Amino acid sequence: MRYPPAAMATITVLGAGMMGSALCVPLVDRGHDVRLVGTHLDTAIIDSLKERHVHPTLRLELPAAIRPYAAEELPAAMEGAELVVFGVSSAGIGWATETIAPFARPEVPIVMITKGLWLHEGRLAVLPDAVQRGLPEAVRRAVVPAAIAGPCIAGELARRVPTCVVVTGRDAATLARLTEVLRGPYYHVFPCADVVGAEVCAALKNAYAMGVAFGAGLHEKAGGAPGSVAMHNWESAVFAQAIREMMRIVALLGGDPLTVTGLPGVGDLDVTMNGGRTGRFGRWLGLGLGVAASIERMEGATLECLEILAVMRKGLAVYEARGELQPGELPLLRQMMAVALDGAPLEMPFERFFAG
């Protein structure tokens, strides 16, 4: 794998949503040449950045050094690019791969902050593998997409709050290069060779954070206020069961269960239930608003938790049919599917937790 000799790089970020845009801040602070390309859904964001350097969703003025490009300006944004970052949601990963394919080069690594899983040929697989399969055959073996995972609230990163994440990938040279390029004074990046473990955690934490956050809504629904006496016992039990289930799923898919105990698992679950959009969504469900009303409250924000629950429902059926997973396993995940996908009553099967 060939890389630019200098530490500074020309980086093209595809996707001008909150996380893609926030990541640009530590990159320009490090001295990189950063081009932020919006999707067809990001027109208003790109226009605002071009006019005033203000990101309307982050509600923050971003550094003027970040150069915004509209979707149709991608060819110009890709000129001289030495690294490509996918900042789209999981629903847009197919579009992003197809869009970047004509510009893919063996010497240009791809790293993604997209979270999700996909069901491929009867197995649940991680998104970097999906991206690699979608690249032109001429570069497919040379470009091994990597991914960033771990606890990171976009609004905090954009405001330079110290943040610790991992970058994970299967190509050792790419991983070493990305660790050096991405890290900065307040953006601390650690290499992780367990792609499956890190990426499964990155996807599942969205669903499980919703489940933990039910507790805050239930407490408020009962007339309670935030404090030292609330539903913390309830939430902690759900959190612990979530970690157990994530470890089981990681092992099932071929990753290292211990990865769940680090930044991609415990760390990201904590930050998502406390400060992420999935935590807000779970709280509204706990309040009894129902799925449709809770989605409306999100004002168009992407809900990766619903997408991962839908994928996992299909996947679990396949694994059960092969006898690799028993119907009684993963009771918390199954209950969250029932609540968020089917509108079932919000009841936690605590008696089925922590078994075996």
Report whether pLDDT(6) > 50: no
Q: What is the DSSP letter of 7?
A: S
Report whether pLDDT(5) > 70: no
Return the HEC string of 61-124: ECCCCCEEECHHHHHHHCCCCCEEEECCCHHHHHHHHHHHHHHCCCCCCEEECCCCEEEECCEE
Model pLDDT, residue 3: 38
Model pLDDT, residue 304: 84
Provide the CA 145 distance to its chain's centre, in angstroms.
15
- For a pLDDT cut of 90, what percent of the chain falls above it? 87
Name the amino acid, one letter, at 234: W
Element (H, E) at 33: strand 33-37
283 is in an annotated binding site: no
Residue with tokens 């612990």: 240
Please report which confidence band the pLDDT of residue 334 belongs to, taking 50, 70 and 90 as the band edges: very high
Tokens of 178: 């990305």
Model pLDDT, residue 143: 94
154 is in an annotated binding site: yes
Task: Identify the sign of the CA torsion 232, 204, 256, 249.
Answer: positive
Tokens of 258: 């211990």
CA nearest to 25, candidates 6, 11, 39: 11
Report whether pLDDT(281) > 80: yes
Model pLDDT, residue 275: 83
pTM, 2 dp = 0.93
Superfamily grouping for domain 10-193:
NAD(P)-binding Rossmann-like Domain (3.40.50.720)
Q: What is the mean pLDDT of residues 68-94?
A: 96
Model pLDDT, residue 226: 86
Q: What is the mean pLDDT of residues 278-284?
A: 90
Superfamily grouping for domain 202-352:
N-(1-d-carboxylethyl)-l-norvaline Dehydrogenase; domain 2 (1.10.1040.10)
CA nearest to 13, candidates 49, 41, 37, 40: 37
Q: How far apart are CA 120 and CA 132, in angstroms?
A: 13
> Rounded mean pLDDT of the chain?
93
Tokens of 292: 């449709």
- Domain segments of the chain: what residues? 10-193, 202-352
277 is in an annotated binding site: yes
Please report which confidence band the pLDDT of residue 228 belongs to, taking 50, 70 and 90 as the band edges: confident
Q: What is the DSSP letter of 322?
A: T
pLDDT tens profile 170-220: 999 999 999 999 999 999 999 999 999 999 999 999 999 999 999 999 999
Do 10-193 and 202-352 fold alike per CATH? Answer: no
pLDDT tens profile 112-142: 999 999 999 999 999 999 999 999 998 998 9
16 is in an annotated binding site: yes
Residue with tokens 């619903």: 306
Residues 6+ apart with CB under 8 A from 171: 1, 144, 146
User: If you compute the radius of gyration of the chain from its CA atoms, what whole number of angstroms results?
Assistant: 20
Model pLDDT, residue 104: 95
Return the active site residues: 205
